């Protein structure tokens, strides 16, 4: 285990991005190898020093909670809101919101841009972990698609999804999640067991999506997951990223 990887509880690794956030960094390949091990084994890992400020994460969590109680835009009483962004090689832009008000969409834009940049960098590191070129998953003239799902989970309405999926989402390569202090997220293990993933303050949670799992022919593992609320409603924000390049299975 390298200096950039440590074990958290229940065998979920912590990957410390550090200066590997920058393309071409000296330690990028070492971090990529650690990331690849996490994708091979559990398919989920915590991410430290990810470049998203605590203030940005907290602001978006607060915004998500408020959006579900805003009667002015029809969001009140709903359980699922969504922002969609188109991600080019040098920029990203918000292309759709369902069914958010313009003000909530505008306030979500900085968070979306930060997450798009982070997801794009993670895909570059994943490419390195597979001994591919750093920009393998980027396609000239094509844009990746990112979706931010804001979900309201109540004690009587848990959310369960198959490997790599989120409600109403397409096939994603990776999912990045912000966990609140309540926890309640579980992933499915071999043999039908479920393992809780405890929140780690200041860290993000990254999971392999079904598209990446199929592309690597199961070498990188996508896990089914479920979210439960035990003490009042929870507000969760899985951010899903689809590669600009179509992910077809690797040749044998």
CA distance 10 to 53: 26
Is the residue at 252 inside a domain? no
Angle of helix 102-129 versus helix 54-67 axis, rounded to 10: 130
31: pLDDT confidence band, cut at 50, 70 and 90? very high
Is the residue at 249 inside a domain? no
Is the residue at 131 inside a domain? yes
Is the residue at 171 inside a domain? yes
* Domain at 165, CATH number: 2.60.120.330
Q: Comparing C-alpha atoms, which of 46, 83, 48, 51 is closest to residue 64?
A: 83
pTM: 0.83
Predicted pLDDT at 40: 94
Q: Comparing C-alpha atoms, which of 204, 186, 236 is closest to residue 68?
A: 236
Is the residue at 78 inside a domain? yes
pLDDT digits (tens, 9 = 90+) for 175-218: 999 887 777 788 888 888 888 888 888 999 999 999 899 889 99
Examine the pLDDT at 6 and tell me if it is beyond 50: yes
Predicted pLDDT at 221: 93
Which range of residues forms the domain containing residue 84? 5-242
Is the residue at 250 inside a domain? no
Is the residue at 58 inside a domain? yes
CA distance 29 to 63: 36
Is the residue at 124 inside a domain? yes
Element (H, E) at 92: strand 92-98
Cβ atoms of residues 231 and 182 within 8 Å: yes
Task: Report the domain count for the chain.
Answer: 1
């Amino acid at each position: 285990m390298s200096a950039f990887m440590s074990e958290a509880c229940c065998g979920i690794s912590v990957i410390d991005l550090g200066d590997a956030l920058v393309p071409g960094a000296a330690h990028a390949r070492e971090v990529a190898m650690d990331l690849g091990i996490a994708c091979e084994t559990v398919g989920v890992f915590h991410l430290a020093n990810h470049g998203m400020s605590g203030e940005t994460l907290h602001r978006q969590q607060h915004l998500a909670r408020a959006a579900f109680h805003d009667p002015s835009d029809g969001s009140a009483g709903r359980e699922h809101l969504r922002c969609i962004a188109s991600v080019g090689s040098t920029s990203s832009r918000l292309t759709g919101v369902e069914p958010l008000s313009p003000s909530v969409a505008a306030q979500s834009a900085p968070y979306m841009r930060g997450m798009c940049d982070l997801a794009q960098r993670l895909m570059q590191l994943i490419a390195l972990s597979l001994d591919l070129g750093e920009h393998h998953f980027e396609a000239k003239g094509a844009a990746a698609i990112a979706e931010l799902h804001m979900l309201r989970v109540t004690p009587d309405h848990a959310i369960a999804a198959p490997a790599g999926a989120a409600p109403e989402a397409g096939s994603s390569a990776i999912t990045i999640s912000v966990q609140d202090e309540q926890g309640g997220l579980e992933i499915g293990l071999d043999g039908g067991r479920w393992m809780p993933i405890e929140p780690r303050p200041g860290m993000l949670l990254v999971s392999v999506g079904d598209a990446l799992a199929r592309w690597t022919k199961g070498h990188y593992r996508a896990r089914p997951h479920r979210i439960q609320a035990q003490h009042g409603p929870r507000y969760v924000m899985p951010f899903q990223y689809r590669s600009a390049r179509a992910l077809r299975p690797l040749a044998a």
